[in-house]
Copies of this chain bind each other. A is one copy, B any other.
Amino acid sequence: MEHGAPKRDIDFVLSKIEERGFRAHPSIGVERTIIGVIGDNTRDSIPYFQQLPGVESVIPVLKPYKLASREAHPQTSQIRVGSAVIGTEAIAIAAGPCAVEDREQLLSTARLVKDCGAVMLRGGAYKPRTEAYAFQGLGKKGLEMLAEAREQTGLAVVTEVVDTRAVKEVAKYADMLQIGARSMQNFALLREAGASGHPVLLKRGLASTVDEWLSAAEYILAEGNPNVVLCERGIRTFETATRFTLDLSSVAVVRHHSHLPILVDPSHAAGNWRFVRSLALAAIAAGADGLLIEVHPEPARALVDGAQSLDPDNFRKLMSAARKVAKAVGRAL
């Protein structure tokens, strides 16, 4: 309650709390009166209470998600994605080009990343692009190429879906539906992906808190789909030396609050291949369950985000270094 709120206001608020079926626990101090509110679904009443006379602020104490919380599921979830499993002792690496561009390029990249130890192939068939006139992906043709690469290599395929109307089609080809940072709060898409029952890779929105991210995961889980994997990919800050600021503390924060496994995408965050290796190793040491890495046979020819793709040689070196760090923190790779 506000400083100096009259007894009349306090009594009014207490009566309204009880009217709504909650219990009120007032703590009357010299400077302030604080009222604890106990009950089911108190969150929905926050705007109501915020408006009552004499109320200074309403501070929610419970988290806005339930199914995503570690309280609901104490063990870290293990999510099967095609031939891969995420959330085990093994670090799961997804690698591949930012966008699927041509068949040969994709197949050779798939073979390369498989040889180096990746278990998933990543590649965009539908690309959400900030600029209206930029290359937007090959669409269905790209999906078919990804499926062919899976057949040849056994890699699980993860690819982005950006439109509710495309969820079914993408689910036909992909082992895991990726929901990109810009779609993290596209709630219709979250529900559709949830309803598909397919594994979902949910990237963190670039201005989303961890609480909002887990709340977005809750939309998928609430559709009865437990197969959610999170992916930290950097948040937007004032720093321009990197494209986004990779928030590696989210790995420990997610692990503390949630049972969902978490991958890290250092390529998009850095926006510059020179910084990818450092961040990839850091992510494994921080406790991530895996990585998303952009690899391109010839980064200088990539149509999308070439600047942040590793060439085959650098990817191979990264995997060898990652293996050592994984072992140092008790994980396998």
Residues of A that sit less than 8 Å from B by CB: 3-4, 23, 25-32, 34, 36, 38-41, 43-44, 46-48, 50-52, 59, 61-62, 64-65, 71, 128-136, 162-165, 182-183, 185-188, 205-207, 209-212, 215-216, 218-219, 222, 235-242, 245-253, 255-256, 269-270, 274-275, 277-279, 281-287, 299-307, 321, 324-325, 327-329
Chain B residues contacting A248 (CB-CB under 8 Å) are 246, 248, 278-279, 282
Chain B residues contacting A47 (CB-CB under 8 Å) are 302-307
A275 touches which of B64, B183, B256, B277 (Cβ 8 Å): B256
Task: State A287–B277 Cα separation when bound (angstroms).
Answer: 10
Task: State A218–B236 Cα separation when bound (angstroms).
Answer: 22
Chain B residues contacting A241 (CB-CB under 8 Å) are 209-211, 249-250, 253
A207 to B209, Cβ gap below 8 A? no
Interface SS of A by simple majority = mixed
Asked whether A215 and B64 contact (CB < 8 A) given A239-B247, A306-B50, the answer is no
A285 to B275, Cβ gap below 8 A? no
A279 touches which of B43, B51, B249, B278 (Cβ 8 Å): B249
- 19 pairs across A/B with beta carbons < 8 Å? A27-B38, A28-B38, A30-B40, A34-B36, A36-B36, A48-B300, A50-B306, A51-B299, A64-B131, A209-B239, A236-B238, A242-B249, A248-B278, A252-B270, A256-B274, A278-B285, A281-B329, A284-B285, A324-B328
A249 to B235, Cβ gap below 8 A? no
* 20 further A-B pairs in the complex, CB-CB below 8 A; given A207-B238, A284-B285, A324-B328: A25-B26, A28-B38, A51-B307, A52-B300, A132-B219, A133-B218, A162-B188, A165-B165, A165-B188, A183-B186, A206-B207, A211-B241, A235-B237, A235-B239, A237-B247, A240-B240, A242-B253, A249-B279, A252-B270, A252-B275
A4 to B245, Cβ gap below 8 A? no
B48 to A38, Cβ gap below 8 A? no
Query: How many copies of this kind of chain does the complex include?
Result: 4
B300 to A275, Cβ gap below 8 A? no
A185 to B188, Cβ gap below 8 A? no
Asked whether A36 and B31 contact (CB < 8 A) given A185-B182, A207-B207, A302-B47, the answer is no
Task: State A205–B32 Cα separation when bound (angstroms).
Answer: 29
Asked whether A135 and B207 contact (CB < 8 A) given A27-B36, A249-B246, the answer is no
Chain B residues contacting A249 (CB-CB under 8 Å) are 241-242, 245-246, 269-270, 275, 278-279
